[in-house]
Structure 1
Amino acid sequence: MRFRRAKAQHFRLFQAFDFEPHPRLNFVTGANAAGKTSLLEALYVAARGDSHRGAISTLATDGQSSFLIDTRISGVDGRPDDKVEVRWQDRRIAVRINDQSAGLSDLVRRMPVLLIDPLAHRLIEEGPGIRRRFIDWGVFHMEQEFHDQWRRFNRALRQRNAALRAQASVREIESWSPELTLTADALTAMRERYLDRLSQLAPKYWQSLVDEKGWTLAFVRGWREGESYADTLIRTLEGDRNAGHTREGPHRAELRVLSDNSLLKERVSRGQQKLLIAGLMLAQGELYRQKHEDAPVLLLDDFAAELSMDSQQRLLTQLQSWPGQSVITALDYSPLLQATNDHAMFHVEHGEITLKKTI
C-alpha cells in the first residue's frame, strides 16, 4: 500500500497542502513547528480516521470548523487507485472510499499505517490500554473474524456493566455470560496466536537495532490463567456488583515487554525504548506483509531524536530495506540521510511543502 497523493484543506497549520510522496523513502525536513509532524498526522488520520496527538475535533485550522484530507492510494493486484476522503464536519468524521460512504473499519483495513513518533514511549511506559490497542491493530489485520468478535464482546460487556450499575437481578446479569464467554475465548485465542508469531519475529529486529537478545514479550489474557471465563464471571460476580463493572476479561488483556523476567521500562533509556518500539512496529509490519503480500506505510517522526549516530545508522538500514513506503521527518537533511538511495526530500516552511530532491 502506498500514498500516491495526499491533499488537505484546513488541517492544523495548513490552509492547504498537496503532497506527492516517493513510493519508497521520503524525508521531510524543516524547523520545529514548521508543520512536519502535522503532515504525518494528516497521513495518519487519512488512514485511521483518528489522531495520535489529540482529539480529532481540535485538528481544524484556527477559525475553521471542518477539515478534509483527500488521498489517492495505490491499488493492489492490478486494481485502479482508490480515492479516499476523510472529512471532519458537523462534529463527526465521515469517510468515503471511491465516492461511497464507508466505516472506520473499512478505512483501517484499506490503508495500514504504522507510526513511530516522540510519544511512542507511551507504549512501554503507560497503562495496558495502549498496548492492547497495539495488539488489536495487528490481530484485526490478521484474523478476519476479529472485528466482529470484538464488537460482540464489547456490546455484551456494555450491557452487563449497565445491569451491574443498575443493581439488576443475578439472573439478568448472568444472561450476558454465554455471549461474553464465547467471544472472550475467541478474542483471546486470536490474540495469543498473534502474539506468538510477533514474539518469534521481534527479536530479529531488536538484535539488528540494539544488538539485544534478552528482550521478550509476554501476553496476559485479562483473567486467571487456567480458569475458564465462564468460571471467572461466576467467581467475580459479587465483586463486580459492588464495583459496578466487569473487572476481569479480555478488556483487561495486557502485553508485557520483559528483560530477564522484569518489566523492560525500568531498565532502558529513551533511545533504547525508541529502537525497541521500532523493532515491534517493523515486526508487526512484516507479519502484515506475510499475510497480505504488501507492506504497511511507515511514518517516523523526528528520526534522529534520542539516537546516537550508530543507532541512527542501524535504524536507517532497516528503513532502507523496508519493502513499502516510509515518510520520515527530521530537522535537517543530514549526510546520513543524503547517502540513501531511492528517496525524495521535501522541505516544510510556513505551511508549504516543497519537493527539493529525488534520488
Structure 2
Amino acid sequence: MRFSKAKARRFRLFHDCSFELHPQRNFIVGANAAGKTSLLEALYVASRGDSHRGATSSLVTDGESSFQIEVQVSNAAGCPDDRIDVRWQERRIQLRINEQSASLSDLVRRMPVLLVDPLAHRLVEEGPAIRRRFVDWGVFHMEPSFHPLWRRFNRALKQRNAALRAQASDREVASWTPELVATADALTTLRRSYLDKLSELVPSYWRQLVDESAWSLAFVSGWRDGERYAETLLRTLEGDRHAGHTREGPHRAELRILSDNSLLKERISRGQQKLLIAGLALAQGELYRQRHDDTPVLLFDDFAAELSPLSQQRLLAQLEAWPGQIVATALEYSPLLQAATNHAMFHVEHGEITLKKTT
C-alpha cells in the first residue's frame, strides 16, 4: 500500500495544503513546531480515523469548526487509486472510501499504517492495554475471523459486567459464560499464533538495529495458565461481583517484552527503546507482507532523535531495505538522509509544504 496524494484542510496549522508522495521514501524536514508531525498525523488520521496525539476535536485549525483530509492510495498490484475522505464535522468523524460511507474497520483494513513516534516508548513503559492494541492490529490484518470474534467477546463481556453491577442472580451472570468461553478461547488462539510468528521474526531486526540477542516476547492470556476460562469465571465470580466487572480474560491479555526472561522496561535507554519498537514495527510489516503480498506504510516521526550516528545508520539501512513506502520527519536534511536512494525531500515552514528534491 502507499499514499500517492494527500490534501489537508483546516487541519492544525494547515488551512489548505496538498502534496504528492514518493512511492518509496519521503523525508519531511523543518524546524520545531513547523508542522512536520502534523503532516504525519494527517496521514495517520486518514488511515485510522483518529489521532495518536490527542482528541480528534483538537485537530481543527484555530477558529474553524471542521477539518477534512483526502488521500489517494494504491497497492502494489497497480490497481486504480482509491480515494479516502476523512472529515470531522458536527463533532463526529465521517469516513468515505470512493464516495461510499465506510466504517473504521473498513478504513484500517484498506490502508494499513505502522507508526514509530516519540510517544512510542509507551509500548515499553506503560501498561498492557497499549501492547494489547499493538498485538491486535497485527492479528486483525492476519486473521479475518479476529474482528467478529473480538466484537462478540466484548458484547458478552459488557452484558456480564452489567449483570454483575446489577447484582443479578448467579444463573443470569452465568448465562454469558458459553459465549465468553467460546470467543475467549478463539481470540487467545489467534493472538498466541500471531505472537509465535512475530517472535520468530523480530530477533533478526533487533540484531541488525541494536546487536541484541537477549530480547524476547512472551504472551500472557489474561487468566491463570492451565485453567479453562469457564473455571476462571466460576473461581472469580465473588470477587467480580465485589468489583462490579470481570477481572480476568482476553481483555486483560498482555505482551511482555523481556531481556534474559526479565521485564525489559527499566533496563534500556530511550534510544534502545526506539530501536526495539522500530524492530517490532518492521517485523509486523513483514508478517503483513507475507500474508497479503503487499506492505504497510511506515510513518516515522523524528527519525534522528535519541539515536547516535551509528544507530541512525543502522536504522536507515533497515528503512532502505523496507519494500514499502516510508514517510519520515527530521529536523534537518542530514548527509545521511541525502545519501538515501529513491526518495523525496519536503520542507515545511509556517504551515506550507514544499517539494525540494526528488531522487
Q: Verify same fold: TM over 0.5.
A: yes
Match for residue 119 of structure 2? 119
How far is 1:77 from its partner?
A: 3.2
Match for residue 250 of structure 2? 250
How far is 1:75 from its partner?
A: 4.0
Asked whether the equivalents of residues 223 and 249 of structure 2 are also in contact (C-alpha less than 8 Å), the reply is yes
- SS of the equivalent of 1:279 reads helix
Asked whether the equivalents of residues 161 and 246 of structure 2 are also in contact (C-alpha less than 8 Å), the reply is yes
Match for residue 178 of structure 2? 178
> Could you tell me which amino acid in structure 2 is paired with residue 157 of structure 1?
L
Counterparts of 1:187 and 1:33, CA distance in 2: 42
Match for residue 207 of structure 1? 207
Counterparts of 1:206 and 1:255, CA distance in 2: 17
- SS of the equivalent of 1:357 reads strand
Post-superposition Cα deviations, 1:2-24, rounded to whole Å, max 9, x if no partner, equal: 00001011111111110211000
Farther-moved stretch of structure 1 (56-65 vs 330-339):
56-65
Structure-to-structure mapping, 1:272-291, within 5 angstroms: 272-291=272-291
> Could you tell me which amino acid in structure 1 is paired with residue 195 of structure 2?
L
> Could you tell me which amino acid in structure 2 is paired with residue 218 of structure 1?
A
The yes-or-no answer on 1:312 pairing with 2:307 is: no
Match for residue 194 of structure 1? 194
How far is 1:128 from its partner?
A: 0.3
Counterparts of 1:78 and 1:54, CA distance in 2: 35
Q: Which runs of 4+ in 1 moved over 6 A?
A: none
Match for residue 263 of structure 1? 263
Asked whether the equivalents of residues 7 and 16 of structure 2 are also in contact (C-alpha less than 8 Å), the reply is yes
Asked whether the equivalents of residues 218 and 258 of structure 2 are also in contact (C-alpha less than 8 Å), the reply is yes
Match for residue 83 of structure 2? 83
Match for residue 230 of structure 2? 230
Match for residue 15 of structure 1? 15
- SS of the equivalent of 1:265 reads coil
Structure-to-structure mapping, 1:322-333, within 5 angstroms: 322-333=322-333
Asked whether the equivalents of residues 304 and 312 of structure 2 are also in contact (C-alpha less than 8 Å), the reply is yes
| Percent of aligned positions that are identical | 75
- SS of the equivalent of 2:65 reads coil
Asked whether the equivalents of residues 75 and 82 of structure 1 are also in contact (C-alpha less than 8 Å), the reply is no
> Could you tell me which amino acid in structure 1 is paired with residue 314 of structure 2?
R
How far is 1:76 from its partner?
A: 5.0
Asked whether the equivalents of residues 223 and 250 of structure 1 are also in contact (C-alpha less than 8 Å), the reply is yes
- SS of the equivalent of 1:218 reads strand
Query: CA, structure 1 residues 246+286, in 2 after alignment: closer, same or farther (shift >3 Å)?
Result: same
Match for residue 6 of structure 1? 6
Post-superposition Cα deviations, 1:233-291, rounded to whole Å, max 9, x if no partner, equal: 11111110010000000000000000011111111000000000000000000000000
> Could you tell me which amino acid in structure 1 is paired with residue 328 of structure 2?
I
- SS of the equivalent of 1:226 reads coil
The yes-or-no answer on 1:295 pairing with 2:295 is: yes
How far is 1:80 from its partner?
A: 1.3
Counterparts of 1:299 and 1:210, CA distance in 2: 20
The yes-or-no answer on 1:138 pairing with 2:138 is: yes
Farther-moved stretch of structure 1 (245-254 vs 72-81):
72-81
Question: How high is the TM-score relative to the length of structure 2?
Answer: 0.99
Asked whether the equivalents of residues 75 and 294 of structure 2 are also in contact (C-alpha less than 8 Å), the reply is no
Corresponding residue pairs, total: 359
Asked whether the equivalents of residues 11 and 59 of structure 2 are also in contact (C-alpha less than 8 Å), the reply is yes
Post-superposition Cα deviations, 1:76-97, rounded to whole Å, max 9, x if no partner, equal: 5342110110111111111100
How far is 1:130 from its partner?
A: 0.2
> Could you tell me which amino acid in structure 1 is paired with residue 210 of structure 2?
V
> Could you tell me which amino acid in structure 2 is paired with residue 14 of structure 1?
F
Match for residue 97 of structure 2? 97
Post-superposition Cα deviations, 1:51-93, rounded to whole Å, max 9, x if no partner, equal: 1000112111111111110010014534211011011111111
> Could you tell me which amino acid in structure 2 is paired with residue 326 of structure 1?
I
- SS of the equivalent of 2:265 reads helix
Match for residue 70 of structure 2? 70
> Could you tell me which amino acid in structure 2 is paired with residue 239 of structure 1?
G
CA RMSD of the aligned region, Å?
0.7
Asked whether the equivalents of residues 35 and 351 of structure 1 are also in contact (C-alpha less than 8 Å), the reply is yes
Q: Which runs of 5+ in 1 are unaligned?
A: none
Counterparts of 1:26 and 1:280, CA distance in 2: 21
Match for residue 355 of structure 1? 355
Q: Which runs of 5+ in 2 are unaligned?
A: none
Match for residue 344 of structure 1? 344
> Could you tell me which amino acid in structure 1 is paired with residue 240 of structure 2?
D
Match for residue 60 of structure 1? 60
Counterparts of 1:78 and 1:299, CA distance in 2: 22
